[in-house]
Amino acid sequence: MFAKTLPCLTLVAAFVSAATTLTPSPSPSIIIDPLPPLCPLRNVTCCQNVGDVSQPAVDLALLKAGLKPKKEFNLVGYGNCRNQTTSPIACFNELLCCQDNDHKGLVALTCRVLRPTPEPTVTPL
């Protein structure tokens, strides 16, 4: 008698158990910070320095590259700039995303900083 009802009870118990574990429970709201804007690989540039137009060193670098300083250049990378796609050497200087980095390594125009130059660490003796 119990032999016939036992499989049915097992099946019912399994169904009830599955129903209770599959019921979604409300989860707390999770706030996710937005990702930083992406940079097309062709625009990733490594320069020794970065600065704003109208800073004397930036304006001088622009003049050496044969360019007239313009406010729309915004942030400018200068000093041994190299495109990371054509010269994939580790960048130990300013890692930038520049819209125009085709000026023989003298300057890169309309940039934003992806990673600033790492600060040297001094360990006490």
Listed range (10-24, 65-79, 84-98) with the worst mean pLDDT: 10-24
Cβ 45 vs Cβ 77: under 8 Å: yes
Q: In the predicted model, is pLDDT for residue 21 greater than 60? A: no
Checking if the pLDDT of 71 tops 90, the result is no
3-state helix, strand, coil in the chain (%, to 5): 30, 25, 45
Q: Which two tokens stand for residue 117?
A: 């130059």
The pLDDT of 51-58, averaged and rounded, is 93
Looking at residue 57, its pLDDT comes to 95
Cα separation values, 12 from 9, 17, 19, 22, Å: 5, 9, 11, 15
Interval 95-116: pLDDT, tens: 999 999 999 999 999 999 998 7
